[in-house]
Amino acid sequence: MIEARFNGRLGAFRLDAAFTAPAQGITGLFGPSGCGKTTLLRCLAGLTRMRGALRVGEAVWQDERVFLAPHRRRSAYVFQDADLFLHLNVRGNLEFGLRRAGTPIAVAFDEVIALLNLGPLLTRSTAKLSGGERQRVAIGRALLSQPRLLLLDEPLAGLDATAKAEILPYLERLHVAVAIPVIYVSHDLAEIARLADHLIVMKAGSVVASGACGGGAPSGAATDEVQTLLAVQTSDVTTGLALAALMAGLSPVGAPPVRPSTRPQARPAQDDVKG
Amino acid sequence: MSDLAEVVLLTLKLAGLTTILLLILATPLAWWLARSKSWWSEVVAAVTALPIVLPPTVLGFYLLIALGPQSPLMRLLAPFGVRTLTFTFTGLVIGSVIYSLPFAVQPIRNAFAAIGDRPLEAAATLRASPLDAFFSVALPLARPGLLTAAILVFAHTIGEFGVVLMIGGGIPGQTKVVSIEIYQLVEALDWGKAHLLAAGLVAFAFVVMLFTLLMERRFWRMKP
């Protein structure tokens, strides 16, 4: 179980968010731009310091008295623009965290190379990678640091449609192959629908809904529901968020639980959504 | 001819030593200046930049006092058998380090600032302690700045005249460097040797500048 609670301000922005997420699978952190998703993620990594508490499994990373510095937390963070080390080649980047992980290696180098198909890139300079390749290396680098919690901050946001389609299958595989809980920030509902098992919805610095998707989230980008949602979301954020919560089968805070009959059709097997 | 060689060797020794010392001293200072958010770090930055603006004679004058036998600093060193550092090679090294300090601090500080927070945050999330991240991420990324600093300091020390004249004089093998020698040769109307040294410095300056520009070009081409 991951239990988190943070509150504080950054300039005019106020974060007051609490959630619990399962210690496995992908938890989507969804909300409109500027709602504090990235700030919350940075608090989880210890990169931004706010008052609060954070437990990951048995380990206390932060509470009233404890604040573990980022390098003492076993969290790995994938930034939106990858931020690979320019002075190291692909192999150097991948080994950076691995060499500092110390503890028995749960995620092996060769495993990650195979999982993300990084073999052909190993000796390349980081300057000579495409956007999609950069993100794959960044995800591999994060996995190899043997994290207890993997934080992905909109890893697809800076990519074009082709690169997105190239990376999504890898993220789906991640799901199956690695037993590390992932928190996946995105403002793209189609992405979340495709990847997440659990959903946290944020608005204006607070968590407004959370719950399991349980495979019930709509799949593929073509579903009517998603299109309706995306259309509504741009014009009216609140309605969009409520809809998102309903579609995923959650109970929005302060609203009666959703009856099973109003849920969308359960997602079939994963195979037919491969991009 | 051998006295000219001695002068050139002494100059190179002074410049090399100053460069090494300044890289060691200026790097942590530049790191602090680049990372600090407090306003008074700019006060420190202004003090380190003073030698750019001050005439070398002003700097030399205060150094002459600070390194002379009457100064409190020298009295502190008296138990170690040091009475004065004026007109010694050590004094010249101290003077050169202070004189060239801004030429080391500025490029290194700019290089550190250009790195930004992100690579360091990435290093921290990959379990590198702040000290580890400094050596494994910040220093390698600031390499072009360190190189520029080394070249500038070396060249600037070779070209130094005023400070050396004030605190070093022209003792052969101790404090007589190329720029001083040229001055004395001209005063002694020995134009032939003066020509040799002067032309040598022009060639040196040209090679240094060309090398710097080529390095910069290579670096910018490496960037994505």
Mind spelling out the 3-state secondary structure of A36-72? CHHHHHHHHHCCCCCEEEEEECCEEEECCCCECCHHH
What lies within 8 Å, CB to CB, of A12 at 6+ separation is none
Give the pLDDT of residue B153. 96
A145 CB neighbours in chain B (<8 A) are 125-127
For residue range B107-134, what is the model confidence (pLDDT) as tens digits?
Answer: 999 999 999 999 999 999 999 999 999 9
At residue A93, does pLDDT exceed 90? yes
Q: Where are the alpha helices (DSSP H) in B36-82?
A: 40-53, 56-67, 72-77
Secondary structure element (H or E) that encloses residue A5, with its range = strand A2-10
Secondary structure element (H or E) that encloses residue A152, with its range = strand A149-153
**Inter-chain touch B130–A142, beta carbons under 8 Å:** no
CATH code where residue B90 lies: 1.10.3720.10
Share the mean pLDDT of chain B. 92
Cα atoms in the 13 Å half-sphere on the side-chain side of B126: 31
- Mean pLDDT across the stretch B167-194? 91
**Inter-chain touch A87–B137, beta carbons under 8 Å:** yes
A97 CB neighbours in chain B (<8 A) are 126-127
Report yes or no: A216 and A244 within 8 Å, Cβ to Cβ. Answer: no
Distance from the Cα of A90 to chain B's closest Cα (Å) equals: 14
A194 touches chain B (CB under 8 A): no
- Residue type (1 letter), B22: L
B128 touches chain A (CB under 8 A): yes
Residue numbers of the domain that contains B57: 2-222
For residue range A116-168, what is the model confidence (pLDDT) as tens digits?
Answer: 999 999 999 999 899 899 999 999 999 999 999 999 999 988 888 888 888 88
Q: Which of A199-208, A255-264, B104-113 has the highest mean pLDDT?
A: B104-113
Report yes or no: A173 and A136 within 8 Å, Cβ to Cβ. Answer: no
The count of structural domains within chain B is: 1
Q: What span, in angstroms and rounded, lies between the C-alpha atoms of A238 and B192?
A: 87
Q: What DSSP designation does A89 have?
A: B
What CATH homologous superfamily does A2-74+148-217 map to?
Answer: P-loop containing nucleotide triphosphate hydrolases (3.40.50.300)
Give the pLDDT of residue A247. 54
**Which one of B121, B125, B135 would you mutate to disrupt binding with A, by most A Cβ within 10 Å of its Cβ?**
B125
Percent of chain A with pLDDT over 70: 77
| Residue A107 pLDDT grade (very low, low, confident, very high; cuts 50, 70, 90) | confident
| Residue A52 pLDDT grade (very low, low, confident, very high; cuts 50, 70, 90) | very high
Query: For the whole model, what pTM was predicted?
Result: 0.82
User: Where is pLDDT greater, at A98 or A261?
Assistant: A98
B143 touches chain A (CB under 8 A): yes
| Residue A192 pLDDT grade (very low, low, confident, very high; cuts 50, 70, 90) | confident
B131 touches chain A (CB under 8 A): no
Q: Which runs of E-coded beta strand occur in A154-258?
A: 182-186, 198-203, 206-212
Percent of chain B with pLDDT over 90: 76
Give the pLDDT of residue A253. 44
From B94, B88, B216, select the one nearest B152 (Cα to Cα): B216
A102 CB neighbours in chain B (<8 A) are 127
At residue A242, does pLDDT exceed 60? no
At residue A228, does pLDDT exceed 50? no
Distance from the Cα of A191 to chain B's closest Cα (Å) equals: 24
For residue range A26-36, what is the model confidence (pLDDT) as tens digits?
Answer: 999 988 888 89
- CA end-to-end distance (rounded Å), chain B: 50
Radius of gyration of chain A (CA): 18
- Mean pLDDT across the stretch B138-158? 94
Report yes or no: B119 and B137 within 8 Å, Cβ to Cβ. Answer: yes
- Mean pLDDT across the stretch A78-90? 93
**Inter-chain touch A145–B125, beta carbons under 8 Å:** yes
Interface confidence, given as ipTM, is 0.81
Report yes or no: B4 and B83 within 8 Å, Cβ to Cβ. Answer: no
Any idea where the domains of chain A sit in the sequence?
A: 2-74+148-217
Pick from B118, B129, B140: CB nearest A87: B140
User: Of the given ranges (A159-168, A227-236, A254-263, B215-224), which has the lowest mean pLDDT?
Assistant: A254-263
Nearest residue on chain B to A75, judged by CA atoms?
B125
